[in-house]
Chains A and B, each alone.
Chain A
Amino acid sequence: MTTNPYIDVLYNSIFTVLFIVATSFGLGYLARLIARWVGASKRKQEDTFAGYLFAAPWIVGFLIFVIIPLGYSLYWSFTDYRVTDNTPPNWIGLDNYAQLILKDTGFRASIVNTLFLTAIGLPFMIAVALFLAVLLNQKSRGERIFRMAFYLPVILGFNTAVLLCWRLMLNGGTGIINQLIRAISKAFPPFSYLNRAVIFIQELISAFFLGISNGKFTLLNRIWAAGFPAANRVPMWVESPLWSKMSVVLLMVWGCGAMMLIFLAGLNNIPRELHDAAEVDGANGWQHFWKISFPLLTPYVFYNMVVGLIACLQIFEPIYVLYRDNQPLVSSVISMVYYLWQASFRQFEIGYGSAISWLILLLILAVTAIQFMMQKRWVNYDLY
C-alpha cells in the first residue's frame, strides 16, 4: 500500500465527502423515524427528512468541530494536562478554577486590563464609528471611496505589514503620529497644553489601573509628583507601559469599520419624512441628530455594544501583534485571551488554559445577559 501523501489527501477528501453524505442521510432518516414515532403525517415525515438532510452537513460540522471540542475543553479544565508531557490528563477537580480565582495575580491583572480596554476602547469605537457613519451618510462626492477607506482596516486585519506600519507610525521619536502632534503644537501653542494635559491625565489613569493590577500605586505617586509634563513630551505609544493600553485602543478604533457600516445601514433606515417634518419645525442639524437620528439608532447602538463588548472581552490580536516581541510591556496590557493563549500555547498547560476559557465564557455570558436586561431602559424599537 502506498503512503504517497498526495494519494492520502485524495483518499481523505473522498472519505470526508462520503462521510458527510452518509451522516446527512443518517440524520435525515433518524429525524423521519422520530417524526413517525410521534405520529406525524406522511407528508410531515418527508419534510422532516428533507429538512434534516440539508441541514445535516452543518449540524455534523457543529457537533464535530464545536460540541465535541467544547466537551473536551470542559473535561480538561478539571485536569492537570500538559500537552508536551507525553502523559494523559490527570483529574484535579476544581483546582484550576480555585487557582485562577483565588491565587493567580496574573489572571487578575489580565481581567483589569481587559476591563480597561473595554471601558475606554468600546465607547471610543462606537463614538468614532457613529461619527464616521453620520459623515458618510451625507451625499457628497467620493462618498463611496471614503466608505471603502474606512472599511479597509476590517479587511486588512492585523497582518504583518499592518503591524509594521503601526509600529513605525507609533514610534515615539520618529513616528508620524508624534511628528504630527509636534508640528501642530509648534504651529498652534495652545494645542501643546492640550496635548500635555491629555498625556498627564492618560498617564495618571493608566498608572491607576497598573496599580490596581499590582496592588501598589508607586508609579501613580511618581507621575503625580513629576507634575505637568514638560513641553517636549509626546505619547510613548509602544514604548511605555503607561501607553501600551492606549495604543491598543487606537488599533481598536482603527478597526471600527464594521460598526460604521451597521450605523450607516441604520441611518439609511430612518424615514426621510421624520427629518422633513423636523425641518419644517425649524430644527437645526444638532437637533436632527439627537432628537431623531440617535433615538432611532439605539437598536443599532445596542447591537454594536453587544457585539463590541464580546469582541473587547476576547481581545487578542492587537496585543499579540504590537507586543508579542516586546515582552516587558506585555504585563501592562495583557488581556484575558492573551493570558489564555500564553498558558495554552507557550506553556502548553492545556488544562489550565481550558479553565481560563470557561471563566471567560461565563464572564461574557453574564455581561451580555446584563446588557439585554438593561436594554429596555434605553433602546427605542418604536420604528421597528
Chain B
Amino acid sequence: MRTKLFVLLVLVSVVFSACAPATPGPATAVPATAVPATAVPATATQPPEAQSVTLKIYLLDYTPDTIAWLKSDINPAFEAANPGVTVEITEGSWSGWDTTFAGFFAAGAGPDIINLGSEMNTLYGKSLADMDPYLGEAAWPDITNFGPALENAKYDGKLRGLPIFTAPRYVFCRTDLAVGSLPPKSFADWVTFAKANTKIDAATNSLTQQALVPVDAGSMADWQWWLLVFYSLDGQLYKADGTPNFDSPEALATTQFLLDMRQATYGPAADAVANLPAGQGSVIDVNADTGQNNGAVCLAHSGWAAPAFTQPIWSKVSIEPFYGDPANFPNSKPVVLAFNDWLAVADYSPNKQLAADWLKMAFTKEANNKWNSTMSLIPARNDSQFGYVTDSPQLKLEAELASQYGVGFAGILEAAKLSVIMQEALGKLITEELTPAEVVAQIQEQYSAALK
C-alpha cells in the first residue's frame, strides 16, 4: 500500500512540475544587441501581440502621491496599450536596498526595472541591460531632451535606463543668523565663518548652533562632502592613466579643509562637544512649535534637506554653490554636486522591450514633470522644467544653478569600495589618528589596490 502511495505521489509531482510554466531563458539567450538600432521598437500606440506578462518595477522611497499617480495614470494607460501586460510596482527603501539588489542579481531574477542612485551605474553596470537599441536617439528622439543627469544612467557608454530627477547639493544659509559675509568664498573664509557662527553651551558641552551642516552633520567628514569640496578645486578623481588622484594637492587641501572645519566646529578630538540636538524639520528652519531655530546657520545638502518651499523662513535663506578656494587654487570653480535617481533595466529581464515602452510612457515631457512635482525636485528632462519649477523662485534658482554649476556624482569606479575606503580614512581624520597627508596616502593606496 505504501509503495503504491509513494508511486502515486511521485507521479502527481511529476505531472505538476510538467504543468509548471516554462522558465524564461537566460537574458543572454536573446541579447539586447539582437535588436537592430535602426529598428522601431513597439510603442504605446502600437499594441503588441496579446500576451500575459507582468512587468515588475522596484521603486525606492517615493512619495505616496507619486505612487498613486503611477498606479492611477501611467500603469492603466500602459496596460491598455499593451493587452495582457500587468504592471506591478514594489516599494522598497534606501535602507537595505543593497542587500535586496544583491539577491536579485545573484538569483538572476527579480524586477525588470529597478531604482538606482547616481553612482550605481558603475557598481551594477555589467548586470544592467544595454538599452541603446530601445532608448537611444534612433529609437526614441525624446532622449535628446534629457540633461546631464543622463550620463549617470550610462555604463560603458551605453544607456542602461533613464534618470528621474536631478538633486544637486547647494549651500543654503540663514542670512539673519550669519555673522560675517555670506557666502564664504574661500577655505579660510569658511573656517573663520565656522568659528564665528558656532555656539557651544558650556553647561552641557554641546552645540546649540552649528555654522555649517554638511551631508553628515555629526562627523562633517562624509565622503560625498569631501568629493564636492574636491571638485570645487577642479580636482580630478583619476589621472590620465586611469589611476586614482588622491595624491594630488587638491586632495590634500580638501582633507585639510574638512579637518579644519571639524575642529572649528567641534574642537579637538580629545575634548569634543556633543552634536546639535535632533530637531524636527530642516536644520536651517525654525521649529513651528517652539519658535526656536533648529541650529544650523548654513546647510550643504540637497533641496530635500532644506525647508519646504512654503515655509516663511525662505525670505531669510540664500542659495549658493560651493566656491572652492580660489585664493590657493586658481582653477577653483563654483560647484553644485548633482545627484539623481534613475530607473535601470536589469540584464536578466526577459521584458526589455516592455520595460523600454513603460519608461517612455513614464518619462514623457509631462510625465517627468508630474512625477517630480509631488517631491518638488528638478526633473531630469530639460523640457519638463516648467510649471512648479518655474513658479517657485527657489526651485527656479536651484535649476539655474544646477545647469550653470552642476557636476555629476557619477563615473566613480568601484564606488562601494571607495565609499568604505574613504569613510574609514576620514573617520580617522576627525579623531586625529591620521594626519591629512596620511589620510590621502591611505586612500590612494587602498583605492589603487581596489581598482586592480
Contacts and interface: CB of A to CB of B under 8 A. Distances in A.
Given A241-B431, A328-B222, A19 B13 contact: yes
B431 A236 contact: no
A242 interface: yes
A86 interface: yes
Contact of A344 (B53, B95, B102): B102
Contacts of A87: 126
B423 A22 contact: no
Nearest to A241: B431
Contacts of B222: 327-328
B106 A210 contact: no
Given A19-B13, A172-B274, A328 B219 contact: yes
Contacts of B223: 327
Contacts of A223: 270
A331 interface: yes
Interface stretch (B199-207, B335-343, B366-374): B199-207
A219 B106 CA distance: 42
Given A223-B270, A230-B205, A239-B274, A85 B216 contact: no
Contacts of B127: 84-86
B52 A4 contact: yes
B434 interface: yes
A96 B4 CA distance: 52
Interface string B254-285: 00000000000000111111111110000000
A324 B434 CA distance: 22
Given A3-B52, A22-B13, A327-B223, A219 B431 contact: yes
B22 interface: yes
Given A216-B434, A219-B431, A328-B222, A236 B123 contact: no
Contacts of B274: 171-173, 178, 234, 236, 239
B221 A83 contact: no
Interface in B109-157: 123-124, 126-127
A15 B218 contact: no
Given A172-B206, A326-B218, A83 B433 contact: no
Contacts of A84: 102, 105, 123-124, 126-127
Contact of B416 (A15, A331, A347): A347
Contacts of A331: 423-424, 427-428
B19 interface: yes
B71 interface: no
A1 B21 contact: yes
A232 interface: yes
B272 A240 contact: yes
Contacts of B427: 241, 327-332
Nearest to B53: A3
A8 B52 CA distance: 13
Interface string A236-256: 100111100000000000000
Contacts of B102: 83-84, 344-345, 348
Given A19-B13, A22-B6, A214-B434, A11 B20 contact: yes
Given A1-B21, A1-B22, A171-B278, A83 B105 contact: yes
A19 B102 CA distance: 28
B431 A210 contact: yes
Indicate the member of B12, B19, B124, B427 with the most A CB atoms within 10 Å: B427
A225 interface: yes
Contacts of A21: 9
A11 B268 CA distance: 64
A173 B207 contact: yes
A2 interface: yes
A234 B205 contact: yes
A167 B416 contact: no
Interface in A181-230: 182, 203, 210-211, 214, 216, 218-219, 222-223, 225-226, 229-230
A114 B155 CA distance: 38
Interface string A254-272: 0000000000000000000
Contact of A328 (B205, B206, B216): B216
B99 interface: yes
B327 interface: no
Contacts of B202: 232
B431 A25 contact: no
Interface of B: 2, 5-6, 9-10, 12-13, 16-17, 19-22, 52-54, 88, 95, 98-99, 102, 105-106, 123-124, 126-127, 201-207, 216, 218-219, 221-223, 268-278, 347, 414, 416-417, 419-420, 423-424, 426-428, 430-434
Given A11-B16, A15-B16, A327-B219, 8 more contacts: A18-B9, A84-B102, A85-B126, A172-B205, A214-B434, A234-B204, A239-B274, A329-B219
Interface of A: 1-5, 8, 11-12, 14-15, 18-19, 21-22, 25-26, 29, 83-87, 106, 167-168, 171-174, 178, 182, 203, 210-211, 214, 216, 218-219, 222-223, 225-226, 229-230, 232-234, 236, 239-242, 324-332, 342, 344-348, 350
List the 3 closest pairs (A to B, CB-CB), nearest first: A172-B274, A173-B206, A328-B427
14 contacts: A4-B52, A5-B54, A5-B88, A22-B13, A84-B127, A86-B347, A171-B278, A172-B274, A172-B275, A173-B207, A174-B277, A219-B433, A225-B270, A326-B219
